[in-house]
Amino acid sequence: MNLDDDYQYILALATHGSLSAAAKQLNVTHTTVARRIHAFEARFNVTLFERVPKGYQLTQIGRSVLPDIERLKSLQGHIERQLEGQDKSLKGEVNIALTPELAHDYVIPLLDEFYQCFPHIQLNLIMGTSQKDLNAREADIALRFTPEPTQPDLIGKKLFASNWGVYASDSYIKKPKQIDNLLLWQLEFHKDWYQGHFNKTQIIARFDNLAALISATDQGLGIAKLPCGLADQAKYENLRRLDLTTSPSNWSLWLLYHFDLKETAKIMAVKSFLIEHFSKFESRFLGETSRYL
């Protein structure tokens, strides 16, 4: 049994307090998390976690060893990054953390071109809405929508601002209505963006997934505030941007990686390729190509 591997299960459950959330972080099943932790406890005849109404919490012995486990994993990650940073070859795997929307609309379409340039680099796309910890080697590169990077020791490039606009479909706009339907994103910074723009409104749905929110708007279910870089695409031919002024967006698209990997040839190759590719779409993300009502 590899203790280093077991430690990541302990850290994940200690962080999230639930088997399902820990499993999601580690990309395994919740039964795998439970089995690995139970085997670790049986090996040392200890109990690290106890069940509570809302999930799991550390026992006293669990709390006492957690700082040492965190330091061990941090040191392990640092050693791995240092060794990885000396790799001068253009081959091997590169893990990219990004949202499903960026993956489907912007990265997957360029894969064929990428492999023609770098046939020996394997790209692993890690898609999700939660941020991956680059310090813990959960990914090598992150394409991240964020106001500012929050993890220490990360370097990279702010690609451009990600501006937002208010959108509705042609079919929705043409409908006679007395009350406007609103579709809201749960992570919106300016939650009252619609106030003062419409006579009467009702919120009919909230979304934690941007692709679903854009699709619902495109299908004529209501009005939504959307990122221009995702909404202003040919496949959403029914969407129209309304000429409304809203608060400036706090979001930008960043490409980030750990400082220790700045000399790794395959990381730098992927970084440069992605920056060049995304630079073609700056005007779209800025909202300069929107189709207005």
Query: Is CATH 3.40.50.150 correct for 92-162+251-281?
Result: no
pLDDT digits 0-9 by tens, 210-241: 999 999 999 999 999 999 999 999 999 999 99
d(CA 23, CA 17): 11
Give CA 80 to chain center in angstroms: 23
**Phi-psi category of 150—alpha, beta or left, where left has phi over 0 and alpha has psi -120 to 50?**
alpha
User: In the chain, where does the domain assigned CATH 3.40.190.10 lie?
Assistant: 92-162+251-281, 164-241
pTM for this one?
Answer: 0.70
Instruction: Select from 127, 149, 126, 159 the least CA-distant residue to 281.
Output: 159
Torsion of CA 51, 57, 63, 65, to 10 degrees: 70
Residue-averaged pLDDT of the chain: 89
d(CA 28, CA 32): 6
pLDDT given for residue 1 in this prediction: 42
User: In the chain, where does the domain assigned CATH 1.10.10.10 lie?
Assistant: 3-84
Contact 11, 36 (CB under 8 A): no
As a whole number, mean pLDDT of residues 126-141 equals: 79
pLDDT digits 0-9 by tens, 159-216: 999 999 999 999 999 999 899 999 999 988 888 999 989 999 999 999 999 999 999 9
Q: Provide the CATH topology of domain 3-84.
A: Arc Repressor Mutant, subunit A (1.10.10)
- What does DSSP assign to residue 292? B
Residue 129 pLDDT > 70, yes or no? no
HSE-up (13 A, CA, CB side) for residue 171: 10
Query: Is CATH 2.60.120.260 correct for 164-241?
Result: no
d(CA 63, CA 52): 15
In the structure, what pLDDT confidence band is assigned to residue 82 with cuts at 50, 70 and 90?
low
As a whole number, mean pLDDT of residues 264-291 equals: 94
pLDDT digits 0-9 by tens, 34-49: 999 999 989 999 999 9
